[in-house]
């Protein structure tokens, strides 16, 4: 259910934030944030169900990226074992030279509007609200029930995510300029990111979620 909240001014804070932000990003207007959905086939491979979607251009063109926290986090290293003995100060240590990591959690935060805020609109508040709700539903439906490959042109990094936790918009404004502020918790499957040129994630997906030596 929508919670009625009132913007503090005719030009809502979210709009002002993005108009200021986009004026700074004009020099990089061709840079995008991409998400690509993968589902498991009958043959066991994770397969893309279409071309990558631009977070800000698709989904009605009304979603605006705010932040992605935790993307640079590194999961706890696996394959490290230690034993302590009374007769020595030193630990007996085993460290797997092929470092792997436990999963981490990232948070994607976006604003969802009822129209493209880079342009003027003649839409009514009701029409904007309907568009806003539809765009948020479309985005979340795209994220859930699948694995999602994230790429962006700014960092030149990629990561593989899944949605597991509940999600509730932190702001739900339906007066003046309707918008949602939504933060989606994403599990980083590999516990790290990869360089944009790496094929590690794609190879893992093709192999049904297994590394090349056949181990999960």
Q: What are 81-109's pLDDT values in tens digits? A: 889 888 888 888 888 888 888 999 999 99
| Residue 75 per-residue DSSP state | P
pLDDT of 130: 95
pLDDT of 96: 85
pLDDT of 2: 35
CA angle 23, 125, 117 (to 5 degrees): 10
Asked whether residue 177 carries a pLDDT value surpassing 90, the answer given is: no
Asked whether residue 175 carries a pLDDT value surpassing 70, the answer given is: yes
Pairing mode of beta strands 171-173, 157-163 = unpaired
Is the CB of residue 34 less than 8 Å from the CB of residue 52?
yes
User: What dihedral do alpha carbons 15, 163, 150, 108 form, nearest 10°?
Assistant: 30
Q: Scan for tokens 């003995």, then name that residue.
A: 85
Segment 133-156 shows an average pLDDT of 96
Split at pLDDT 50, 70, 90, the class of 17 is: low
The helix (run of H) or strand (run of E) holding residue 97 is: strand 92-101
Q: Rounded to whole angstroms, how far apart are CA atoms 201 and 157?
A: 12
Q: Rounded to whole angstroms, how far apart are CA atoms 202 and 36?
A: 11
The mean of the pLDDT values for the chain is 85
pLDDT of 3: 37
pLDDT of 25: 52
In this prediction, what percent of the chain has a pLDDT beyond 70?
84
168-186: burial string, b at 16+ Cβ within 10 Å, e else = ebeebbbebbbbbbbbbbb
Beta bridge partners of 93: 82
Q: Rounded to whole angstroms, how far apart are CA atoms 194 and 72?
A: 10
pLDDT of 9: 43
Is the CB of residue 46 less than 8 Å from the CB of residue 39?
yes
User: What dihedral do alpha carbons 60, 65, 66, 72 form, nearest 10°?
Assistant: 150
Split at pLDDT 50, 70, 90, the class of 22 is: low
Rg (the chain; Cα; Å): 21
């Amino acid at each position: 259910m929508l919670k009625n909240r009132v913007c503090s001014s005719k030009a809502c804070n979210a709009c002002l934030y993005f108009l200021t932000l986009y004026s700074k990003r004009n020099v990089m207007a061709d840079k995008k944030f991409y998400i690509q959905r993968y589902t498991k086939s009958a043959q066991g491979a994770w397969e893309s169900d279409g071309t990558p979607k631009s977070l800000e251009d698709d989904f009605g063109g009304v979603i605006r990226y705010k932040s992605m926290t935790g993307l640079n986090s590194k999961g706890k290293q696996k394959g490290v074992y230690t034993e302590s003995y009374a007769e020595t100060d030193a630990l007996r240590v085993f460290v797997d030279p092929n470092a792997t990591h436990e999963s981490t959690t990232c948070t994607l935060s976006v604003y969802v509007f009822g129209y493209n805020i880079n342009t003027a609109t003649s839409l009514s508040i009701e029409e904007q609200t309907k568009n806003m709700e539809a765009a948020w539903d479309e985005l979340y439906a795209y994220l859930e029930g699948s694995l999602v490959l994230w790429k962006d042109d700014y960092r030149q990094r990629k990561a593989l995510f899944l949605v597991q936790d509940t999600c509730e918009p932190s702001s739900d404004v339906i007066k003046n300029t309707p918008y949602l502020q939504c933060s989606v918790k994403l599990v980083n499957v590999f516990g790290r990111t990869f360089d944009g040129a790496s094929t590690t994630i794609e190879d893992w997906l093709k192999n049904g979620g297994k590394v090349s030596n056949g181990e999960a």
